[in-house]
Amino acid sequence: MNTNLSRRTFFGLAAAATAAAAVPILTEPQLALAQRRRIARDYAPGAVRIDANENPLGPCSGACAVMSSLLPEGGRYDFELTQKLVDAFAGIEGLKSEYVLPYAGSSEPLHYSVLAFTSKDRSYVTADPGYEAGMYAAKVSGANIVKVPLAKDYSHDVKAMIAADPNAGVFYICNPNNPTGTITSRTDIEWALANKPKGSILLVDEAYIHFSDATPSIDLVKADKDLIVLRTFSKIYGMAGLRCGFAIGRPDLLAKIQTYGMNSMPILAVAAATSSLQVPELVPERRKINTDIRNDTFSWLTANNYKFIPSQTNCFMVDTGRPGKDVIAAMAAKNVFIGRVWPVWPTYVRITVGTRSEMEKFQQAWKEVMSAPASASEPTRRASPTLARLGARDLPPGMQREEFLS
Ligand code: PLP
């Protein structure tokens, strides 16, 4: 072995890992927290929490039982348990286990994939509006960030995305998309794979896939294509606070993201995830619950002439016809915390599908806020005590003051 080369490689990897360690991972909970802190210190008791795309059902009963029984083992790392989870998932998907890397949620592999495949010479291409986390990672790698508007049907405009930069490193396709809950077809994903620049990857984020009719892309991984698929237990499985997810890709692609570090997994999350995978009716049952509540909410919005984008997931966008940030503040004043605004659509806000009773409270507050004159809610936002005396500890972890105030 060439010692210089291996030394250089080692220090290169170490530097990459150090840079990654020093870099905050900004993701859904921090973005939701940032918005909340602009208008309130925290959730008040009894708050309706439909601002962070969480699943109010939480982990399934089997997962809760297995976690309770495992609590006394909490002093152990238990790598074997993690391997069993990887093997179980790989078995279900018909993959070899080396195509699956476990992480404490999908935020880490999302961040690391962007760090690994973008640079100041290789841009990050994403949809607009789209999930923001990858853009924060791209800022770290120094990559140019190219935002491509969604197509008319709110799918990813893959032709425009691929045309956007012949030197792109990552094309991020969130399928279904956060925040719109809209899907991108299999044909479009295949087209993007066939036409993307050499050396680039598609990063297909399937965080919300179980809620929808979208075709999963894992078989394209199996066919050794240039893509990494992200999966999480945070959404339909209701395990956001427990932390478990996967990066799924060809081993040579996964090796590149592994250089940013692999921590040991939280064993309760691993056990809960393994147990959840063994309940075949879990996904269809939860999907039906979410779909029914979402569709009833859509019927109510339609009946009351509110404009929204039909979604297939546990979140959707509604047009307020006024600055969305004012509506968010006015809703919070009624103890209903709704999701954020995307700069490209400043009058739209994102709503997460909560429980039936939460959505009833949402409807009542929404009607009151929307029937008040547009100017009525503005002073609420201006008067936010948090903004007036913003200190470093008010900022969500890793967020800069300017980003927070934007
Ligand atoms: N990807 C998308 C599109 C998301 O919306 C989220 C969280 O909301 C994540 C990834 C990360 O989720 P987690 O780190 O909890 O797996």
How far CA 325 is from CA of 39, 41, 332, 351, in Å, comes to 10, 16, 11, 13
Distance 296 CA to ligand 1 centre (A): 25
**Whole-number percent of the chain with pLDDT over 70:** 86
Q: Which pLDDT tens digit goes with each residue over 138-187?
A: 999 999 999 999 999 999 999 999 999 999 999 999 999 999 999 999 99
pLDDT higher than 70, residue 400: no
Distance 206 CA to ligand 1 centre (A): 9
What CATH number did the domain enclosing 383 receive? 3.90.1150.10
The confidence score (pLDDT) of residue 377 equals: 62
**Per-chain mean pLDDT for the chain:** 90
Question: Looking at the structure, do residues 70 and 144 belong to the same domain, yes or no?
Answer: yes
pTM assigned to the model: 0.91
The confidence score (pLDDT) of residue 11 equals: 42
Q: List all residues 6 or more positions away from 298 whose beta carbon is below 8 Å from its beta carbon.
A: 308, 310, 316
The confidence score (pLDDT) of residue 164 equals: 97
Please identify, by atom number, the ligand 1 atom nearest to the C-alpha of residue 233: 16
Question: Looking at the structure, do residues 122 and 145 belong to the same domain, yes or no?
Answer: yes
373 in a structural domain: yes
Higher pLDDT, 400 or 346: 346
Question: Looking at the structure, do residues 90 and 231 belong to the same domain, yes or no?
Answer: yes
Question: Looking at the structure, do residues 47 and 187 belong to the same domain, yes or no?
Answer: no
Largest CA-CA distance found in the chain, in angstroms, rounded: 73
What CATH number did the domain enclosing 193 receive? 3.40.640.10
The confidence score (pLDDT) of residue 382 equals: 46
- Where is the domain boundary, 277, 312, 330? 277
4 in a structural domain: no
Give 364-368's long-range contacts (Cβ < 8 A, gap of 24+): 365/48, 365/331, 365/334, 365/335, 365/336, 366/306, 366/331, 366/336, 367/304, 368/334
Please identify, by atom number, the ligand 1 atom nearest to the C-alpha of residue 243: 15
Please identify, by atom number, the ligand 1 atom nearest to the C-alpha of residue 174: 3
- State the total domains in the chain: 2
Determine which residue's CA is closest to atom 1 belonging to ligand 1: 207
> How far, in Å, CA of 127 to CA of 109, rounded?
19
**Whole-number percent of the chain with pLDDT over 90:** 80
Question: Looking at the structure, do residues 234 and 355 belong to the same domain, yes or no?
Answer: no
In contact, 155 and 181? CB cutoff 8 Å: no
The confidence score (pLDDT) of residue 393 equals: 59
Please identify, by atom number, the ligand 1 atom nearest to the C-alpha of residue 52: 8
Please identify, by atom number, the ligand 1 atom nearest to the C-alpha of residue 240: 15
User: What six digits make up the tokens of 196?
Assistant: 């993307």
Question: Looking at the structure, do residues 159 and 272 belong to the same domain, yes or no?
Answer: yes
Distance 389 CA to ligand 1 centre (A): 30
Question: Looking at the structure, do residues 349 and 378 belong to the same domain, yes or no?
Answer: yes
Which of 30, 50, 110, 237 best tests ligand 1's pocket when mutated (most atoms within 8 Å of CB)?
110
Distance 312 CA to ligand 1 centre (A): 16
- Where is the domain boundary, 260, 277, 294? 277
- The mean per-residue pLDDT over the stretch 369-385 comes to 67
- What does DSSP assign to residue 234? S
11 in a structural domain: no
Which of 33, 111, 113, 234 best tests ligand 1's pocket when mutated (most atoms within 8 Å of CB)?
234
Distance 210 CA to ligand 1 centre (A): 13
Question: Looking at the structure, do residues 40 and 150 belong to the same domain, yes or no?
Answer: no
The confidence score (pLDDT) of residue 36 equals: 83
pLDDT higher than 50, residue 357: yes
Q: Which pLDDT tens digit goes with each residue over 283-321?
A: 999 999 999 999 999 999 999 999 999 999 999 999 999
For residue 249, the cross-strand partners are 228
pLDDT higher than 60, residue 91: yes
The confidence score (pLDDT) of residue 182 equals: 98
336 in a structural domain: yes
How far CA 357 is from CA of 155, 301, 362, 363, 364, in Å, comes to 31, 16, 9, 10, 11
Distance 80 CA to ligand 1 centre (A): 26
Question: Looking at the structure, do residues 310 and 348 belong to the same domain, yes or no?
Answer: yes
For residue 102, the cross-strand partners are 246
Determine which residue's CA is closest to atom 8 belonging to ligand 1: 28
Q: List all residues 6 or more positions away from 106 whose beta carbon is below 8 Å from its beta carbon.
A: 205, 207, 230, 231, 232, 234, 245, 246, 247
pLDDT band at 55 (very low <50, low <70, confident <90, very high): very high
pLDDT higher than 50, residue 1: no
The confidence score (pLDDT) of residue 40 equals: 74
Which of 103, 107, 136, 211 best tests ligand 1's pocket when mutated (most atoms within 8 Å of CB)?
107
In contact, 339 and 308? CB cutoff 8 Å: no
pLDDT higher than 50, residue 240: yes
pLDDT higher than 50, residue 5: no
- What does DSSP assign to residue 23? S
Question: Looking at the structure, do residues 47 and 192 belong to the same domain, yes or no?
Answer: no
Distance 53 CA to ligand 1 centre (A): 9
> How far, in Å, CA of 406 to CA of 402, rounded?
6
Distance 27 CA to ligand 1 centre (A): 7
Buried b / exposed e over 80-110, threshold 16 CB at 10 Å, is ebbeebbebbbeebebeeebbbbbbbbbbbb
Q: Which pLDDT tens digit goes with each residue over 193-230?
A: 999 999 999 999 999 999 999 999 999 999 999 999 99
The confidence score (pLDDT) of residue 39 equals: 79
Main-chain phi, psi angles of 229, to 5 degrees:
-105, 140
Question: Looking at the structure, do residues 196 and 257 belong to the same domain, yes or no?
Answer: yes
Determine which residue's CA is closest to atom 2 belonging to ligand 1: 207
Question: Looking at the structure, do residues 44 and 189 belong to the same domain, yes or no?
Answer: no
Domain that residue 387 falls in: 28-57+282-405
The confidence score (pLDDT) of residue 285 equals: 98
- Weakest mean pLDDT among 21-25, 209-213, 282-286, 378-382: 378-382
Ligand 1 binding pocket (C-beta < 6 A) is 27-28, 53, 105-107, 110, 131, 174, 178, 205, 207, 232, 234, 240, 245
pLDDT band at 103 (very low <50, low <70, confident <90, very high): very high
